[in-house]
Every structure is written in C-alpha cells, then in structure tokens.
Amino acid sequence: MTKNNLTTFFEEFLHNKSLFVNRSALLSSYTPESIPHRDKEMNNIASILAPALKQEKPSNLFIYGNTGTGKTLVVKHVVKNMGEISKNKKIPLKVIYVNCKLKRVADTEYRLMSQLASCFGKAIPSTGLPTDEVYKSFYSAAEKEQGIILLVLDEVDQLIKKVGDNVLYNLTRINEELKGAQISILGISNDTTLTENMDIRVKSSLSEEDVFFALYNAVEMKSILQERASKAFHENTIEQGVIEKCAAYAAREHGDARKAIELLRVAGELAERSKSEKVSFEHIDEAEEKLEREKIFDIIKTQPKQFQAVLYSIITLKNKNPIVYTGEIYDLYKKICFKIGLRPLTQRRVSDIIGEFELIGIINTKTISKGRYGRTREITMSIPSSTNPLTKKILEEELSIA
C-alpha cells in the first residue's frame, strides 16, 4: 500500500458505517448483566454460597456440565455480586479464581499451590521448594486472612486427570489446619463423569453440594444470541436466519453458547471488513472456518518442539490413512527428528505425549488389540480434517521443515 492508498483506506474506514454498536458485548471477557435461562442454577449457587456473607463457611460446591453451558459465567456473576456486597458492608470475604487448565501455570500440584499462594501476594519460585513447603506458604497466608475464602477451581477436571485427586483431598481438609479464615472450594468441571472415578473421601467432601448445568436447547440458544446481538449490532444489520444458523452451529458443537457468540462476532468483523451492509450466511461459514483455524493455531504455537513433531507425524499419517497407530507415529516421528536435528524422545515418552494431546482434545485414542499383531492405540483426530492442510503448514513453519 502506498501512502496515498493508505490514507484513502483509513478515510474510507472512518467513513464507513460500522455494523457494531458495541462489539465488546460479543467478547468472551464480557460479563452480561443477566444470564438468560440460568436463573435456577444461579439461585441455587447463590443460596449455597450466601452463608459466606454471614461469616459461615458455605458447603463445598461441585459444578459440572458441558463446555459453554454458562458455568463459569454464572459462578463469576454470583461471586462478583457477593464481592460487592461484602465490600460495601465490610464483610471479610475473599475470592480466588484459578483456571487449572493453564499449562505450566496451574497444571500440577506444586504449580496450583504456588498459584494460590501468589493470590495472597506470596511469590513462590517455579521450582526448588518442596511441595509441602508451598502448602505451608499457602496456609500461613490464608491464616492471616479473616472470614471466608471462596476458592474457585475452574476446569478442575483437567488437573485431576493429570495429577490425580490428591490435591483436592489436601485442599478439602485445609480447614482443619486453619484457625482464622475458612475456605470453601468451588470446583467447576466440564467432565460430567469426573466424580465417578474419584476417591470417595474427596468425592463426598468436594461435592457437599452440586449443581448441574444442562445443555441449552435450540430455543434458549437462539434467545441468548438474539440478546447479545441486539446489544452488539446496529438494527437491521443481520440477515434473516443468521442467528438461527449460529444457534444450529452451536447445537452441533454440543450446545456451546460461548462458541456461538464468538462465531457471531467474527462473522460481524468479517462482514465489516468486506464492507457488507449486513452479516450474511457466508460470513458465518467464513467465521466458522476462521475460528477453527485460530483455535488450532493457538494450541500448536504454545506446544514445545517435541510435541509439535509428534503432532506433525500424526497429521502427516492421517492424510494417508483414516486410522493411525502409535508405532507408525513413532517411526515417522523419529525420521522427522532426524531431519530437523531434534533428539528423539523414547517411545515411552511419546506415548505419554499422545496421551496429553488427547487431554487437550486434539485427538481421540482407543486402546485396541490386533491379536497376533499386538496391542496398540488407535488414534483419530478430533479436529475437523478440513483444517489438516493448514495445521500441517503451520507445523512445518514452526519446525522449519522445508
């Protein structure tokens, strides 16, 4: 673009009427004033947590339901509200929110505890300390607090799958050690079957109360989208049926409202960029593709080289056969390592890496036996195959494979 072109571009940009009134209403960081179709759950959670305002320790609470059913939103909403009241009335109440999925932040016992301690302003080194030392650090910080501490552990299923339920056991017993403050634990899980495999003691103490979030049905989803859209867009900027399409897309993705809202936002942005006057069906399709790409892109970029190499071999093999096995992956992985000058890890480790990919949700595995030809894991992709070429390309760039 020459300087003149650029000026014209910006002038046109300013001149163009935006489709959005308030784009932020469609961002994931946006907290709506009300959460439609979740009154029952919200009231339920509020009544369970309410004793905290009277300085009585609320029951530990286990909240479960599929992704995008509003769990986090509702909890944050309730907790925020309580925070404001406690502040106004000077009731000692502290809320700690931790997302356990964050890789290398809160995905091990040590890291979670160090994260918790840091919420009290205690800096814990990334390694070097014994874990019980980190626990003590957290205890002593919590001890200095007064009143009730609400500890929200989001995506707690990820943590438990990775390191077991020992952490929760320790956390649920923390109050026995504390004299000052009392801690209530709110576990939020996307895995609806999580408690089934948990230690019975942990299970009973974590879910003294539990709240289930059901999927949104098509009608509810539509009304959620409509409400957000009316806040975000100017009137008559959305073509007839577009909202329904978003809702249908979300229903396909297991009733995930967050995704549907994001889809609408990206579609709007694309429409605006292409100078359309309305958000149309094509924009939704385009947005769907874009979102899928970005999601995968983000995951890949943050993986270590070794993980990328493993994923690259999976995808390469996937392009040839619909089903791939651990052995094939490892063979190709070794070749790739040789090609790019990476020291190959052992098969044992690669097997674990494959397991981690399953945990992230990129692949699905199933242990099968091929009889005379041994036992192995059958690996299928859980991301759409249409994104494979692009994923492969990104990996090639990341790994500098010519």
Cα 267 from Cα 263, distance rounded (Å): 6
Which stretch in 58-66, 202-210, 338-346, 386-394 sits in contact with DNA by CB under 7 A?
Answer: 338-346
The residue within the footprint of DNA, chosen from 267, 345, 394, 395 (CB under 7 A), is 345
Alpha-carbon Rg for the chain, nearest whole angstrom, is: 24
Q: How far is the CB of 359 from DNA (least distance, A)?
A: 12
Q: Going residue by residue from 81 to 110, which x/- string records binding to DNA, judged by CB under 7 A?
A: -----------------------x---xxx
Does 127 interact with DNA (rule: CB under 7 A)?
Answer: yes
Q: What angle do CA 106, 109, 113 make, to 5 degrees?
A: 70
Assess contact for 310 and 319: CB atoms under 8 A: no
Q: How far is the CB of 108 from DNA (least distance, A)?
A: 3
Does 321 interact with DNA (rule: CB under 7 A)?
Answer: no
CB-based burial label for 208 (10 Å; 0-12, 13-18, 19+) = middle
Q: How far is the CB of 133 from DNA (least distance, A)?
A: 7
Token pair for 245: 């399409």
Does 369 interact with DNA (rule: CB under 7 A)?
Answer: yes
Token pair for 73: 């939103």
Q: How far is the CB of 184 from DNA (least distance, A)?
A: 25
Which stretch in 187-195, 207-215, 314-322, 372-380 sits in contact with DNA by CB under 7 A?
Answer: 372-380
Of 198, 255, 258, 215, nearest to 60 by C-alpha is 198
Cα 368 from Cα 295, distance rounded (Å): 30
How crowded is residue 375: how many other Cβ atoms within 10 Å of its Cβ?
Answer: 10
Q: How far is the CB of 115 from DNA (least distance, A)?
A: 11
Determine the 3-state secondary structure of 316 from DSSP: helix
Q: How far is the CB of 107 from DNA (least distance, A)?
A: 8
Of 316, 333, 329, 335, nearest to 376 by C-alpha is 329
Q: How far is the CB of 189 from DNA (least distance, A)?
A: 21
Beta bridge partners of 149: 94, 183
Sign, CA torsion 379/382/388/390: negative
**Whose Cβ is closer to DNA: residue 35's or residue 314's?**
314
Does 377 interact with DNA (rule: CB under 7 A)?
Answer: yes
Does 354 interact with DNA (rule: CB under 7 A)?
Answer: yes
The residue within the footprint of DNA, chosen from 180, 241, 361, 374 (CB under 7 A), is 374
Site size with DNA, rule: CB under 7 A: 41
Q: How far is the CB of 216 from DNA (least distance, A)?
A: 34
Does 344 interact with DNA (rule: CB under 7 A)?
Answer: yes
325 phi and psi angles, rounded to 5 deg: -120, 155
Beta bridge partners of 99: 154
Determine the 3-state secondary structure of 94 from DSSP: strand
The residue within the footprint of DNA, chosen from 375, 385, 386, 393 (CB under 7 A), is 375
Token pair for 220: 């509810």
Does 372 interact with DNA (rule: CB under 7 A)?
Answer: yes
Does 341 interact with DNA (rule: CB under 7 A)?
Answer: no
Does 347 interact with DNA (rule: CB under 7 A)?
Answer: yes
| Interface residues toward DNA, by CB under 7 A | 104, 108-111, 125-132, 304, 306, 325-328, 330, 343-349, 351-352, 354-355, 367, 369-377
